[in-house]
Structure 1
Amino acid sequence: MEPSAATPPMAMPGCKDSCGGVTIPYPFGFGEEHCYHEKAFEINCKVSANNTAKPFLTPFNLEVLRISLESQNVTVNVPVVPICRGSPWTSPNLTGSPFRFSDYNIFTVRGCGNALLTNQSGEIVGGCATTCDSSITTRGCYGINCCETHIPSGLAIYNITTTDTTTEKCTPSFLWYQDNYPIPAGNFSNIRSTPVLLDWMITSLHNLPPARSYPDQRCSAQSFVDGMRTYSCQCPYYNEGNPYISNGCQVVPACAGCIRSCAENSSTYTDIGKGIDLINITATRKKNR
């Protein structure tokens, strides 16, 4: 008999693990206080008049599109407002929180003019310039009708300022996480929000599984960010699930019932393991007696 493969838990016991079709894994959560790691990870599952639910990151009231445990990031919708000459726009302020704007986001400018991205100290950390040419109809972002650039890692807040705008007083300028959400072609005047990737970090081991001895260590200390010690949790090799809750990691189905380990020849199972490194797992199942 083959062992059954149960779905690993994503939320704390007694807590819901989804809102509006979006999986909400611990350390995020909503409902009782024990459902989330700390207040910064609280989710507000808003239900509209037509009974449609959407998750929002409570401290910043930003809609949540996706949460990744493995990559430790969350994709949110950030409102887009007209950025006009002489009227800088300031992003949501993540200072003091366990979130930072990811350097996977692209700073994008559409239309005519220049735009600068500055940090909390007023230092320029990004920017680009565009010229307009209505005869150019091909897609792409290379300085004509559009430009884009990467941003540095670790930004907690940023300002966007448009300068030297020629034919237009207002220039659409915003961050956009393009890897999973390609920028559409056409008029940007109707865009109300853009998907933005936030990195998140754990700064306290409170309510997390205890660290274990190598090679099954669950949570370990990482680098310092703004003076805060950060931690990361991972399921042991050959396991999957949520490493941030007790009993959240379960043996992958191909390794269930293995003799000693998944290192003996039989069938090969490909798993992501830790990070993005692909590993091959060979599993030998116990024979029925």
Structure 2
Amino acid sequence: MLHAHAASGKPVSRCMSQAKLVVATVLALELLLVATAVADGPVALSGCPEACGNVSVPYPFGFRQGCFRKGFNLTCNETGHQPKLFLHDDVEVDAISLADGTVHVQSKTVHAAWSDPIRNGTRTPSLIYSNGSWFGGLTGTGGQQLAVSSEHNVFVVIGCNFIGYLVAPDPFCSAPRHVSACAALCDASSPGTEPEEYTSCSGVGCCRTIFKGDLDNMEAAAVYQVMFKHLVHDTEAVYPAWYTPSESVAAFIVDHEWFNGNAGVMLNNTFGSYDHWGSLSPVAVPTVLIWWLEQERDRDIVFYDPNISRRRCLSLNSVVTYVTGFAIRCSCLDGYEGNPYMRDGCQDIDECLQPVVYPCHGTCINMPGTYRCSAKKRIINLPGLITIIAIAAGFGLLFSVLGVGQVTKKLKKRRAKKFKQKFFKKNHGLLLQQLISSNKDIAEKMKIFSIEELEQATNKFDHNRILGCGGHGTVYKGILSDQRVVAIKKAKIVVQREIDQFINEVVILSQTNHRNVVKLFGCCLETEVPLLVYEFIPNGTLSYHSWPK
């Protein structure tokens, strides 16, 4: 509702009030044509708690029976003063993100001690091999859809003259596989160095390195092993009796952004004494896990919608993105926010309430998935006011009877256009346009068709136009506007890495001229999977022509 306000101490004239009433009437009639939602929808299933303490718990996660999907169950400990959320009882959860598919947890560090007996007045460090299990809430079983993020974390070793190894089980071999390793080195003069120098993890007393997870082979979802090897014994070094070497070593997988800001504090706590190295105490550090859904396993929540010709989650206004060949994640479309894994979870946002993000130098009107910014309306003089009100009322009645269908149609067209632009960009259409415009030979033999052209050529992909079906897709007979008879191949869903090689192979096929090879006239990139337009062969099929790999 719109309100007319007057500055303090300055009366508003009756003429101005009536004029503003007219403006409010016109705007109210326009607002009746669209449905808006200014509040975010629920993030958890009906009847399920949405948070544990200060941590939001969105579905598919949950901690009560019937509130989570298999593999996403958590524990909320409500016995203390502040409830805490845990992953498998002893790993505390700090945050869960639907947007980037991450879970922030507090993981334990792995420690090992070593012996350095005094013999003949000197310390002779003994060789040590030690190992332990790093545990960040992962079970190492196939049913859990959680893994350590190699993008957000680093492997860190803190100690003196130690090598730390990060080891993961190999699914194809009984022996474990080394994932990462780094060495933290010191010498006899290190304890005499001012502790202020130890404010970064640069290899002296502390080392860090990246590691590569392999989500396709499910290695990143396993429990890592940490192994230590002491280096002093290998050189048979002997230290003076006054020298106190590092009594322990620690290794951990940690969020690299957090560690960048806290490395100095951890090192000062460890090596804070001027005359000796200190001992490490067990601590917890923040670690980032990733989570996902599986295309086959979660078909009840992720599916192909023929009405919009794309994959989506339960929420109508959602879209699917591929993390790997089998792992997928959902998100809301632009202009919507909420939980895409729930029915009606993605709710329209009111862009007019966020003028900094969505600027409007006029009158802002929220619409489903977008907003409209109309020019500021001038104050209308009193003469002709009754006429304007009558006209506005008449137009309002007319719009309410006839305009709703037009508005709905326009909104559908706008949404369809947005999807076409998105798929065109995703399928590298801009790159193909650039190749065609820069190469005259390609331009003469290759054309980028619109989806409207191919729908008109096939009578909207009528079943009577089907020439054949196979494992890769369906082939339709079509007649273009220039009366050319063509065969249009509509392939099934492919993963993104196959589409990434698509453009180069299309260009190669369009240049191929051989009597045994069917000519490729062009393609359409405005659908989730590109469509191919071939020369029509009356006495043959396209079954032997494979989809570009």
Give the alignment's TM-score, normalised by structure 1: 0.79
Q: Over aligned residues, Cα RMSD in angstroms?
A: 2.9
Unaligned runs of 5+ in 2: 3-35, 114-127, 171-175, 215-219, 233-244, 271-279, 313-317, 354-364, 376-421, 423-549
Q: Which residue is equivalent to 1:43? A: 74
Query: Aligned with 1:52: secondary structure?
Result: coil
The alpha carbon displacement at 1:207 in A equals: 5.3
Q: Which amino acid aligns with 1:129?
A: A
2:226 alignment partner, one of 126, 135, 160 = 160
Indicate the SS of the match to 2:130: coil
- The alpha carbon displacement at 1:151 in A equals 1.2
Amino acid at match of 2:147: R
CA distance in 1, matches of 2:300, 2:369: 29
SS of equivalent to 1:163: strand
Q: What residue number does 2:288 align with?
A: 197
Distance 1:263 1:89, change over 3 A: same
Distance 2:338 2:257 in 1: 24
Partner Cα separation in structure 2 for residue 150 and residue 162 of structure 1: 17
1:124 counterpart = 2:170? no
* Higher fraction of strand: 1
- Partner of 1:144, secondary structure, is coil
Partner of 1:262: 370
CA distance in 2, matches of 1:261, 1:159: 47
TM-score (norm: length of structure 2): 0.44
1:62 aligns with 2:140: no
| Cα distance, 1:215 vs structure 2 | 7.4
Provide structure 1 residue ranges, at least 5 long, that are not aligned to the other structure: 268-273, 275-289
| Matching residue's letter, 1:220 | V
1:106 is the counterpart of 2:131: no
Aligned CA distance change for structure 1 residues 261 and 67 (closer, same or farther; 3 Å) = closer
**How many equivalent pairs are there?**
261
- In 2 relative to 1, CA 111–262 (structure 1 residues): closer, same or farther, beyond 3 Å? same
CA distance in structure 2 between the partners assigned to 1:16 and 1:101 by the alignment: 27
State yes or no: 1:220 paired with 2:320. yes
Which residue identity is paired with 1:37?
Answer: R
For residues 216-259 of structure 1, what are the alpha-carbon distances to aligned partners after superposition, in whole Å with 9 as ceiling and x for unaligned?
A: 9435373557xxx3231111111011111111111112169535
Please state which structure has a larger fraction of its residues in helix.
2
Identify the residue that residue 246 of structure 1 maps to in structure 2.
343
Give the alignment partner of residue 187 of structure 1, picking from 269, 280, 286: 269
Partner amino acid, structure 2, of 1:13? S
Higher relative contact order (CA 8 A, sep 6+): 1
- Residue of structure 1 equivalent to 2:131: 88
Q: Which has the larger Rg?
A: 2
Query: 1:201–1:246: structure 2 CA closer, same or farther, 3 Å change rule?
Result: same
CA contact (8 A) 1:76 1:196 kept: yes
CA 1:68–1:260 in structure 2 vs 1: closer, same or farther (change >3 Å)? closer
- Give the aligned residue type for 2:72: F
Q: What is the distance in 2 between the residues matched to 1:235 and 1:147?
A: 40
Runs of 4 or more above 6 Å deviation: none
- The corresponding residue for 1:32 is 65
Query: For structure 1, which segment, 212-221 or 119-128, has the greater mean C-alpha deviation from structure 2 after superposition?
Result: 212-221
> What SS does the aligned partner of 1:172 have?
strand
SS at match of 2:249: coil
**Alpha-carbon distance between aligned partners in 1 of 2:83 and 2:334, rounded to the nearest angstrom:** 35
The answer to which of 19-28 and 6-15 deviates more is 6-15
Q: Give the Cα–Cα distance (whole angstroms) in 2 for the partners of residues 120 and 178 of structure 1.
A: 24
- 1:40-91 per-position Cα deviation (integer Å, ceiling 9, x unaligned): 211110123x432111123x64211111111111011112242343220122
Shift of 1:266: 5.1
